[in-house]
Amino acid sequence: MYEAPLALPGKLRLGGGLVYVGRRFGDDANSFKVPGYLRTDLSAHYQIDKLDLRLKVENLLDKRYVSSSIYDDTVIQGNRLLFQFLAGVRF
């Protein structure tokens, strides 16, 4: 997490990360494998007094990947490009 200097009041924090999941078996019987993936995530957090604003970007490069599976006919895709905005007030 990087805290950026601002001319405005408050604090701005920027962050990012990579999520890596390797190739793995897709079911309990180990009858097939699903490919691994690398996902890029970013975040920004602005805090002023009691107000918190957060922006999270998941899967920045909009990669298609298998997040989980149960059987060879039930393979679940991971989220595509996803934006989340959160606002909070502390009392």
pLDDT for the residue 7? 74
Question: Is the full-model pTM beyond 0.95?
Answer: no
Going from N- to C-terminal start, the domains of the chain cover 2-89
pLDDT for the residue 2? 75
Q: What is the pLDDT of residues 5-50, one digit of tens each?
A: 777 788 899 999 999 999 999 988 888 999 999 999 999 999 998 9
What is the distance between the alpha carbons of residues 86 and 34, in angstroms, rounded to a whole number? 33
Q: Which residues contact 30 (CB under 8 A, 6 or more apart)?
A: none
pLDDT for the residue 10? 85
pLDDT for the residue 8? 76
